[in-house]
Amino acid sequence: MSLADVDQTLHIAPNPGGFGAELTGLDLSRPLPPETLARVKAAFLAHGVLWFPDQPLTHDQLEAFTLQLGPFGWDPYVAPLADRPHILEVRRDPGETAAPFGGGWHSDWSFQETPPSATILHAKVVPPTGGDTLYGDAVAAYEALSPAFREMIAPLKVVHSAARPYGPQGSFAREEATRSMKILSSPEAEKRFTHPLVRTLLDGRKALFCNPVYTLAVEGFAPDESAALLSFLFKHMTDERFVYRHRWSEGMLTMWDNRRAIHHATGGYDGHLRVMHRTTVAGDRPV
């Protein structure tokens, strides 16, 4: 099969409303031709969440696909696979009682100075029930706000930190239930970075850039004012109008745009094994 034939097999099927799309017809175990890779990147920007069913990938192939999109991101506070510093195993064993990793609405590593542009998750073992991932469209949520409200929040900045989950007194450090994943709580997690509340995407669209897990406060606001504004935004962003529920299958690779999407891992699969392998793609400082 020629490279042109590979490109011609790509099929993009967006969700109603355009947030999220299924891509079929590609073999991600091999390097994508430049034209095809450009189409995948364009679809990623347009739809925010992409999934590729039936992609049985080795570690080498997962890393190679990630690097086609950009350099690896920095993944702190979770121990990677022993021989793969850029692959995290998101695992929950059948007898595990700890809450699923990634529960709570968030944008991956938004507490970093340059948060990752993309997260890639490859399904290795999928339980027969539960384990869906919810994605919230922060572009649609922003656009649904009134013009006056958008004008009011345009200049605001918000403070992000990993302290609440990963700090020395964070939720993981205080966790009593056993967990198969090794969490690396650290004083480094208490560092703070300030980012725009509204960030501009590569295509010029604007998205809300805040989340309940890592966003602590609105810069310059009194605590009660900050809490009220953030509470409104978090409720607004996770309204069912903006949420897509993603169901997994074994071998599926899913990638999402952390600049646009927030997400939340659900449970519902107690007594079953679930294993995913995760990489991130480096990003830029939000503007």
- Residue 259, strand partner residues: none
Angle value at C-alpha 171, between 117 and 111, nearest 5 degrees? 25
Are 178 and 97 within 8 A, CB to CB?
yes
Residue 16 Cα to chain centre, angstroms: 21
Q: What are phi and psi of 106, to 5 degrees?
A: -160, 165
- What is the largest distance, in Å, between two alpha-carbon atoms of the chain? 62
pLDDT at 2: 38
pLDDT at 189: 98
Edge-to-edge order in the sheet of strand 192-196: 192-196, 157-161, 215-218
pLDDT at 5: 43
* CA separation for the pair 60, 71 (Å, rounded): 15
Q: What is the DSSP string of 57-98?
A: --HHHHHHHHHHH-SB----SB--BTTBTT-EEEEE-TT--S
pLDDT at 25: 97
Pick the CATH number of 3-281 from 3.30.450.80, 3.60.130.10, 2.60.120.10, 3.40.50.720: 3.60.130.10
* CA separation for the pair 265, 30 (Å, rounded): 29
Are 254 and 65 within 8 A, CB to CB?
no
Q: Which residues of the chain register pLDDT less than 70?
A: 1-8
Residue 235 Cα to chain centre, angstroms: 18
Give the active site residues. 106, 108, 263, 278
Q: What is the DSSP letter of 187?
A: G
Domain ranges (residues) in the chain = 3-281
pLDDT at 118: 98
